[in-house]
Amino acid sequence: AANKKLLFLPGDGIGPEVMRQVRRVIDWMDRKRKITFDVSEGLVGGAAIDAHGVPLSDATLAEALAVDAVMLGAVGGPKWDNPTDYTKRPEAGLLALRKELGLFANLRPAVVFDALVDASTLKPDVIRGLDILIVRELTGGVYFGEPRGITDIGNGERRGVNTQVYTTSEIRRVARVAFELARKRGNKLCSMEKANVMESGLLWRQEVTKLHQEEFQDVELSHMYADNGAMQLLKNPKQFDVIVTDNLFGDILSDEAAMMTGSLGMLPSASLGAPDANGNRKALYEPVHGSAPDIAGRDLANPCATLLSFAMCLRYSFNLDEDAKLIERAIQNVLGGGMRTADIMAPGMARCSTTVMGDSILREL
Amino acid sequence: AANKKLLFLPGDGIGPEVMRQVRRVIDWMDRKRKITFDVSEGLVGGAAIDAHGVPLSDATLAEALAVDAVMLGAVGGPKWDNPTDYTKRPEAGLLALRKELGLFANLRPAVVFDALVDASTLKPDVIRGLDILIVRELTGGVYFGEPRGITDIGNGERRGVNTQVYTTSEIRRVARVAFELARKRGNKLCSMEKANVMESGLLWRQEVTKLHQEEFQDVELSHMYADNGAMQLLKNPKQFDVIVTDNLFGDILSDEAAMMTGSLGMLPSASLGAPDANGNRKALYEPVHGSAPDIAGRDLANPCATLLSFAMCLRYSFNLDEDAKLIERAIQNVLGGGMRTADIMAPGMARCSTTVMGDSILREL
Ligand SMILES: CC(C)[C@H](C(=O)O)[C@@H](O)C(=O)O
Ligand SMILES: CC(C)[C@H](C(=O)O)[C@@H](O)C(=O)O
């Protein structure tokens, strides 16, 4: 069989330095586990704008479409901020990847690591042991809806328009992923929208309800308005198992949930497409945190979120659950031993660099 | 001069019982402060649907347009849930009031009461002394944008559409309110949108920046993406003074901020229109909490949020700052004395009913 094909897109800011630690784990897998990846590397975001004038070149996109999975670092930074041309933003590269690869299901776990329970601004008993999964729709809604744009409407006035739009099949396919994941976990799904205000949310609620009736009656389904969801996440996050929501609400609510864990530098994500005839799906894996330009290039960043994203990659794209668990356990043990990058540093712990964190995880492996 | 005219719309759930306590304060003002209000009462939400078949009758709307200010309890409840006709929902009554009265600026303070600092799920030092003000745009955006609706698109598929739309003048008028309020407080304004993804957000950012340049350079202005805003609120809420944002982000972020305070039953809100030639503006005041159907009619609800909304009414609609302060101080003293309705009950405190809370506040006054 051909080797497993990976495309590395380190991107901007701390992207390259955290991705370097994934390279080291890949070398370890090659040597010790006899699992070999063909790794190619490309540019995305600001780095691609600097090199090619666009945040995602056609060649890189073609490469992304050809590989088994994409590993992404992070995109964006002040250097490329505030361009008025929407196609020339670092973010446009990431959005194009999501759309062109059809990555409609974005899995964002919000997990509290025992060793980090005090890092949160929430009280320890509220979040200890928290393990929820947010499934965010990623290729639809107001992110891609047409018409969109800014137009002059006379008298010195302008109008800015975006369109929130969802169809039956867009809703069903992401809800299906969420129901299936719930079945493998706590068997509970909560769907969030603003059906009380938006027709697109009402359609969302109706279609999720219908799919539940048709195929997933064994899963416990509830619905919540997204504003109430933002409150309930804070009030009692452990009431949730899997949450499914649209692109924009998912952006906000998953960031809220991530920050609640206090472990932002620890959280991975997976973005998945539809399975093909052989059950293979396009996929992209990236840390939930951003490019953190303020600490970029200083060997300060926490590589764990990216390494855990690689663990998700092993699990979802290559069915290597055992190897995924090895990485996850190695990270837990290193944390348990007191190693901390700056973002999760706490009194009595040992502060370390990106590289030393990588060293420790490799030693543990 | 004619008496001050108030319209009471108690609405559904706990609305009527918390509004009853405002009546008592109005009687006290009449007797002790020689300030008299003409109070009329009407139906809104589910109560209006039951009586008239619509969530806001033309007569009630006309009355709301004629008075100096509207005091609203809460709308909604399971009895009127899931109707497929959008014009027959309790929420439609509230949305119509906002739109027809032109209440574009929604002021939502997120304040932590010293006596309640332990009620939050956040750690006490993160939120002690918190006092931020969210200014939410209330008559535009995806709540009212056209086209909207659900259409059949063939093959058993449907499409749900809503439109996010803002114009220069809509953005400027709400930003102006926020800048002016910031001047009277900590002189800092943070504007939140998704300018990196949505053109309507880009326009928002450009227009807020322009207004700042033109008229409010003395106010410290910053911009934040709304997803980062959801995180920063949790990470370090005290970094904010005034936040201005659109209708939908404001819905989510103000609920997050409200729940963070742990004092949801304590938070008031004001919705204001544009000042007329005499400086008078249409206004509606309501608690941030909802209709809480689970405890309705049982004398359990916390009336403080509604009483504090009335204090805002005295301040913003009638320039009675002194009386507003009397009410605010009375509530603080009652809390300081250990009185607690069920929602804010804590060990060692005295649990009391809605009515007894009202008694105590009146005694204090
Ligand atoms: C960078 C940005 C375009 C992106 C988004 O809004 O989806 C980010 O916030 C995310 O959540 O992945
Ligand atoms: C009841 C509902 C229509 C309303 C809204 O979404 O604006 C509420 O959540 C609010 O925040 O006042």
Closest CA to B96 of B58, B66, B153: B58
Q: Give pLDDT tens digits for A11-38.
A: 999 999 999 999 999 999 999 999 999 9
Q: What is the mean pLDDT of residues A254-273?
A: 94
Give the range of the structural domain holding residue B81, as residue numbers without chain letter: 1-111+266-365
Locate A95 and state its tokens: 């959005």
Q: How far apart are CA B231 and CA A51, in angstroms?
A: 32
Ligand 2 centroid – CA B138 distance (Å): 10
Q: How far apart are CA A208 and CA B140, in angstroms?
A: 28
User: Are A36 and A140 in a shared domain?
Assistant: no
Active site residue B143: yes
Domains in chain B, number: 2
Q: Does B110 touch chain A (CB under 8 A)?
A: no
Contact residues, chain A, for B162 at CB < 8 Å? 163-165, 198-201
Ligand 2 centroid – CA B251 distance (Å): 7
For residue A2, pLDDT over 70 is answered with no
CB A56 within 8 A of CB A42: no
Q: Give pLDDT tens digits for A238-257.
A: 999 999 999 999 999 999 99
Q: Among A9, A94, A136, A285, name the best residue to mutate to test ligand 1's pocket (greatest count of ligand atoms within 8 A of Cβ).
A: A94
For the purposes of burial, counting CB atoms within 10 Å of the CB of B62, is it exposed (0-12), middle (13-18) or buried (19 or more)?
exposed
User: Are B154 and B202 in a shared domain?
Assistant: yes
User: Are B126 and B212 in a shared domain?
Assistant: yes
* Cβ distance of B259 and A158 shorter than 8 Å: no
Rounded to the nearest 5°, which phi and psi values hold at B279?
Answer: 85, 5
Give the residue from B223, B241, B261 where a domain finishes.
B261
Residue A98 in any domain: the answer is: yes
Ligand nearest to the CA of B249: 2
Residue A114 in any domain: the answer is: no
* Cβ distance of A143 and B197 shorter than 8 Å: yes
pLDDT of B303 reads 97
Q: Give pLDDT tens digits for B34-43.
A: 999 999 999 9
Average model confidence (pLDDT) for chain A? 95
Angle B9-B15-B20 from CA coordinates, rounded to 5°? 80
Give the residue from A207, A228, A261 where a domain finishes.
A261
User: Are A136 and A77 in a shared domain?
Assistant: no
Residue B41 in any domain: the answer is: yes
Q: How far apart are CA A224 and CA A241, in angstroms?
A: 14
Q: Closest ligand 1 atom to the C-alpha of A286?
A: 12
Residue B92 in any domain: the answer is: yes
Q: What is the mean pLDDT of residues A175-203?
A: 97
Ligand nearest to the CA of A106: 1
User: Are A253 and A271 in a shared domain?
Assistant: no
Closest CA to B119 of B267, B297, B321, B269: B267
| Residue B278 pLDDT class (50, 70, 90 cuts) | confident
Q: Give pLDDT tens digits for B230-276.
A: 999 999 999 999 999 999 999 999 999 999 998 889 999 999 999 99
pTM (2 decimals)? 0.96
In angstroms, the Cα distances linking B181 to A25, A274, B137 are: 53, 49, 14
User: Are A191 and A318 in a shared domain?
Assistant: no
Q: Give pLDDT tens digits for B130-188.
A: 999 999 999 999 999 999 999 999 999 999 999 999 999 999 999 999 999 999 999 99
Locate B215 and state its tokens: 């008229």
The residue annotated as part of the active site, out of A251, A282, A285, A343, is A251
Q: How far apart are CA B259 and CA A171, in angstroms?
A: 29
CB A137 within 8 A of CB A170: yes
Q: Give pLDDT tens digits for B318-357.
A: 999 999 999 999 999 999 999 999 999 989 999 999 999 9
Given the structure tokens 């990106």, which residue do they identify? A354
| Residue B86 pLDDT class (50, 70, 90 cuts) | confident
pLDDT of B82 reads 65
Contact residues, chain A, for B258 at CB < 8 Å? 231
User: Are B277 and B252 in a shared domain?
Assistant: no
DSSP A214-277: HH-TTSEEEEEEHHHHHHHHHH-GGG-SEEEE-HHHHHHHHHHHHHHHT-GGG-EEEEE----T
Q: What is the CATH number of the domain that holds B354?
A: 3.40.718.10
**What strands lie across the sheet with B157-167, from one edge to the other?**
A149-154, A157-167, B157-167, B149-154
User: Are A17 and A92 in a shared domain?
Assistant: yes
Is there an atom of ligand 2 within 6 Å of B91 CB?
yes
Residue B181 in any domain: the answer is: yes
Residue A112 in any domain: the answer is: no
User: Are B333 and B358 in a shared domain?
Assistant: yes
Q: How far apart are CA B43 and CA B12, in angstroms?
A: 9
Contact residues, chain B, for A231 at CB < 8 Å? 255-256, 258-259, 264
| Residue B1 pLDDT class (50, 70, 90 cuts) | low
Q: Closest ligand 2 atom to the C-alpha of B269?
A: 12
For residue A1, pLDDT over 60 is answered with no
Give the residue from B261, B293, B317 where a domain finishes.
B261
B292 annotated as a binding-site residue: yes
Q: Closest ligand 2 atom to the C-alpha of B247?
A: 7
Residue A115 in any domain: the answer is: no
Q: Which A residues, 179 through 238, put their C-beta within 8 Å of a C-beta on chain B?
A: 194, 196-204, 207, 226-228, 230-231, 234-236
Q: Are strands B37-41 and B4-11 parallel, antiparallel or unpaired?
A: parallel
Residue B116 in any domain: the answer is: no
User: Are B3 and B105 in a shared domain?
Assistant: yes
User: Are B253 and B134 in a shared domain?
Assistant: yes
Rounded to the nearest 5°, which phi and psi values hold at B225?
Answer: -70, 145
Comparing alpha-carbon positions, the chain B residue that sits nearest to A157 is: B168
The beta strands (E) that lie in chain A are given as 4-11, 37-41, 69-74, 105-111, 131-137, 149-154, 157-167, 188-193, 220-225, 242-245, 268-272, 283-287, 339-340, 350-351
**How many other C-beta atoms lie within 10 A of the C-beta of residue A82?**
13
* Cβ distance of B259 and A234 shorter than 8 Å: yes
User: Are B94 and B140 in a shared domain?
Assistant: no
The residue annotated as part of the active site, out of B27, B81, B118, B227, is B227
